[in-house]
Amino acid sequence: MQRILVNQKSIPQTRLDVVDSAPLAQGQARLKLESFALTSNNVTYAAAGFDIGYWQFFPSGVDGWGIVPVWGTAEVVETRSDALEIGARLYGFYPMAEELVITPQSAQGGFIDAAPHRAKLPLIYNQYTPVRSEAAQDDHLRALLQPLLATSYLLFDWLQDNAMFGADQVIIGSASSKTGLGLCRYLAEPKDRTYKIVGLTSDGNREFVQSLGTCDSVLTYDQISDIARVPSVYVDMSGNSDVKARLHDHLDDQLKHSAAVGLSHWDRFAPAQKLAGPKPEFFFAPAQVAKRRADWGPGVIEKQITAAWKRIASDAAEWLTLQVQDGVAASEPVYQALASGQADPKHGFIIRP
C-alpha cells in the first residue's frame, strides 16, 4: 500500500512510502481510495498537525514523519463488519494514501470510524457519508469545495452570530484561497448588508479575486495602508505574521476582532507576536457546528452548509479548472507546490490513487 509521508519538522518535505496492507480484524472494513483533493487546507493540517491533532488521525508509525489528512471518496473492497457491505462508497476524511482501514459504526445516516485512537478527535472529521456512484466531477467538486466552503459558511454564520463585532468592513486575508473566496461570496449575498468586503491577496492573484466580483475592493499585501480606518474585522486565512502585524498596526483600536483560520503562509507564521489592537483568536469550525447544533438541534446547520457550498459549486466551471492526476506519487509535487505557495488558485487538484 502506497502512502505519502510528510516531515513533521519541515512540512514541504515528503516521501513516498510502501507498507503492507493491514489485515482486517473483526468489525473492520478496508476502503480503497478512488480520488481525493489537495488544497492549501492540507498545508494547514500539516502546519497545525501537533497543535490541533491532525497527525493523530492516521498514525504513520514512523518517527518524525506523519500522514496529512485529505478529503475524498473511497469504496469498501473488503469487510468484516456488519455495518458496511462491499461496494459501498463513502465520502470523508482519509490519509494521503491508497487505502484506509476503519471500524465503522452507524451514526446519523452515515458512519463514524470507531477506532480507539480517533475517539477523542473532533466528530466532524470522523464522519463518513454514503454517496452514490455518479459523475467523477461530482466526487471531485465535493472533495475540493465542501470542506473549504463549509468553513467559509461557518465563518459567515459566526460573524453574523456576533453581529459582525460591530464592524463596518470585513477584511479577508488570502482572499484567493478557496476558503477566502467562499467567505467573500457568502458575505456578499445579503442584499441589506451594511459592511464592506475587502479582499487581501498577492499581486499575482489580485486580478483573479477581482474577477469574481464579490469584494468591494481588492488590495495587495503592499497596500495595507490604503485600508480605511473604520471599525473592522480581520479574517486571516494565511497566517502571514508580517501581514498581520502591519494590518494590526494600521487599524489598531479600529480592529474589533482578529480571527486566525488558516496557515497557507505557514513559513511566515510567528506564534508569539506582540500586536496592536485585539489579540488574534483561532477560529475552529467544529466549535461553531457544535454551537449551532445546541442552538437549533441536530441537522439544521449541516443542511445550511450543504445548500451553501452547492450554490458556489453550481458555477465552479466559470472560475475553477480541475487538474486530475493518477497515482499516489502524483500527490508529492502538488502538495509541495501548495506548501510553497506556487499553486494557481484557479486550479483544483485531484489525485486518483
Query: Residue 341 — pLDDT band, cuts 50, 70, 90?
Result: confident
Helix or strand or coil: residue 132? coil
pLDDT higher than threshold 80 for residue 268: no
Q: Which CATH architecture has domain 147-288?
A: 3-Layer(aba) Sandwich (3.40)
The CATH homologous superfamily to which domain 2-133+320-352 belongs is: Medium-chain alcohol dehydrogenases, catalytic domain (3.90.180.10)
Q: What is the pLDDT of residue 269?
A: 47
Q: What is the pLDDT of residue 265?
A: 44
What are the backbone dihedrals phi and psi of residue 254, each rounded to the nearest 5 degrees, phi first?
-80, -10
Q: Which residue has the higher pLDDT, 263 or 189?
A: 189
Instruction: Tell me the torsion sign for CA atoms 139, 331, 114, 284.
Output: negative
Residues forming beta bridges with residue 130, ordered by sequence position? 90
CA 288 to chain centre: 15
- Residue from 205, 198, 197, 194 nearest 226 by CA: 198
Distances (CA, A) of 185 to 112, 175, 199: 31, 10, 11
pLDDT higher than threshold 50 for residue 176: yes
Find cell 505519502 and name the residue.
4
Domain layout of the chain by residue ranges: 2-133+320-352, 147-288
| Fold agreement between 2-133+320-352 and 147-288 | no
Q: What is the pTM of this model?
A: 0.85
Q: What is the pLDDT of residue 240?
A: 84
Q: What is the pLDDT of residue 59?
A: 96
Percent of the chain with pLDDT over 70: 97
Tell me the average pLDDT of the chain: 92
The strand ranges marked E within 69-193 are 69-79, 89-95, 99-102, 104-107, 110-113, 127-130, 169-173
Q: What is the Cα–Cα distance from 181 to 148, expressed in whole angstroms?
A: 10
Q: What is the pLDDT of residue 262?
A: 64
Q: What is the Cα–Cα distance from 109 to 249, expressed in whole angstroms?
A: 48
- Residue from 32, 33, 4 nearest 16 by CA: 4
DSSP label at residue 275: -
C-alpha cell at 46: 500539516
- Residue from 353, 350, 351 nearest 141 by CA: 350
